[in-house]
Amino acid sequence: MKNILTLLTVWVTLLAAGPASAQSSYEALPELSLPDSLQAARKYHPALKASSEKIEQAKSQVNQAWTFLFPFVTTTGTYRRADKEIAVNMGGLGDLGALAALNCPAWNTATMGPAPALCSAPAGSSSSSSGPIVMQEYNNFDATLTVGMDLLNARAFPAIPYMKHSLEAAVLDSSLSEDNLMFMVIQLYYTISLAQASEDLATEQLQITGKLLDLLRLREASGTALQNERLRLEMSQTQASQALDLARLSLRNTRRTLALVLGRDDPDFKVVPPAVEFVVEPKPAADSQLAARKDLQILDKTVEMTRLGVTDVYLRFLPTIKGAWNYNATSATGFSGDHTSWNATVTLSWSIFDRAQRIIALGDAKAKLREVQYRREASLLAARTEVNNAGNELESSQLTLTQGRKLEELAKENYRLVEKQYELGVADQTAVLDANREYLSARIQVLLGDLRVTLARISYLKAIGRLDKALGSL
């Protein structure tokens, strides 16, 4: 990380050296806790908001898949103005009916069969003529109401679990984005803590240089100081002052970066990192150990969705059956003499041959399924490598930290003895500066080791998909 590299530059400068204010630049600033930082990132960051909207989209798609099983209702209304009225004159038929009725008394059922219904009609029920039947009026109104649904559409059934898997994948993707964001916030938070410790060390180095200058004045007064002692101390003081400026600059820049991630307008705050209390024991990466990784779970959902896509292509070979009920109303009665009518239809549709499009689509879907399965295997291999690397980094950082703490104790004791000898005049300035440099280097290694171990523990938990354990302990 760029900020950590900047801090290393600061510490390299400190190793070459050693008055500034003893008050830290961040001491009086308000405290920002790590839990508050994580919560602010969850609430503010646009990436998480975008993931939430993806989940809403997936929910809508699930609801849409269910609608294929529901009926539909449509209605239409039409007004049509015609240039003329069209009517059919049916008056001749009425006259023929009256003429036939005159022969009813002479009808012999024994020889001629049953009498027609016209003979049993009441007298005078047939008009000598009938009016014209209007087929088209000047102003025509028509309305239709249709209720229908798919009685058999096999493709609707895999669509529902497909969309459910899509929703679950969206939820996992949102959770994975949140984990990555939380890990970034943790890294920045502990980097700021390291930058604060860097400033403290730089301030302390300036104080030590000032103390050595005070001792030098006594040595100069007694005539035991060497000619170049003041020059060396002034060089060390200049170098330490530059290191302090760099440390404060690095601290400000890192705070600004975290403030941008959290959506804070004010980058002036200090951090107090909590102690990492959880213990992590690296183990060889096994499939069961990686089951909690969200990226692998997303790929599992993708495999299932692709498999359902293959099923969907197979179901395209089956017929579909649709039913519909239509109710019609019109201003022109026509031959029926009614203004309303209804009908029900059942339609079977079966594509017997579609120029081999389904066969081609089936081959493509199977190839996509194999591709996703191979991608899942590749991701599993990469996850195993990541877990092994994270475990190696954790073991290495813990070993380095243990050795660094032992070295710090030895360097501290050596510096105390050399400083005492210098005050008594039995050790020269070079020995004091060398002992101080070694002690400072050891302290820097411990600080780096602490950060490295902390991030290595969290990285290992993230690699096995258990970042939630780290978040619950911080």
Tens digits of per-residue pLDDT, 214-265?
A: 878 877 787 777 777 788 888 888 888 998 999 999 999 999 999 999 999 9
Would 43 be classed as within a structural domain?
yes
Average pLDDT over residues 455-470: 90
Distance CA 307, CA 165 (A): 11
What stretches of 223-286 show up as alpha helix (H) in DSSP? 229-262
Q: What's the confidence (pLDDT) of residue 456?
A: 93
User: Is residue 236 domain-resident?
Assistant: yes
Residue 33, in any domain of the structure: yes
DSSP one-letter string for 427-444:
S-HHHHHHHHHHHHHHHH
Residue-level pLDDT at 22: 52
**Gyration radius of the chain's alpha carbons:** 45
Confidence of residue 432 (pLDDT cuts 50, 70, 90): confident
Is 86 contained in some domain? no
Contacting residues for 309 by C-beta, under 8 A, at least 6 apart: 162, 365, 368, 369
For residue 203, pLDDT over 60 is answered with yes
pLDDT in tens, 105-122: 766 776 766 766 656 666
Residue 128 has pLDDT above 50, yes or no: no
Mean pLDDT of 352-360: 92
- pLDDT in the model for residue 361: 96
Task: For residue 454, give the nearest of 404, 409, 398, 408 by alpha carbon.
Answer: 398
Q: How many helices (H) and strands (E) does the chain have?
A: 11, 8
Q: Is residue 243, in this structure, part of any structural domain at all?
A: yes
CATH for 55: 1.20.1600.10
Residue 6: is its pLDDT beyond 60?
no
Residue 408 has pLDDT above 90, yes or no: yes
- By the 10 Å C-beta count (0-12 exposed, 13-18 middle, 19+ buried), 26 is classed as buried
CA distance 448 to 12: 13
Domain that holds residue 332: 2-18+28-70+154-473
Residue 85 resides in a domain: no
pLDDT of residue 12 exceeding 70, the answer is no
Region 437-443 average pLDDT: 89
Please tell me the total count of domains within the chain: 1
Q: Is residue 466 part of a domain?
A: yes
Task: With residue 379 as reference, give the H or E element that holds it.
Answer: helix 357-424
Contacting residues for 276 by C-beta, under 8 A, at least 6 apart: 453, 454, 457, 458, 473, 474
Task: Note whether residue 249 is domain-resident.
Answer: yes
Band (134; pLDDT cuts 50, 70, 90): confident
pLDDT of amino acid 7: 42
Q: What pLDDT is stored for residue 4 in this prediction?
A: 46
Contact status, residue 173 vs residue 320, Cβ threshold 8 Å: no
Mean pLDDT over the full length of the chain: 85
Where residue 14 falls among pLDDT bands split at 50, 70, 90? very low
pLDDT in tens, 323-338: 999 999 998 887 777 8
Q: Are strands 132-136 and 31-32 parallel, antiparallel or unpaired?
A: unpaired
Q: Are 237 and 17 in contact (CB under 8 A)?
A: yes
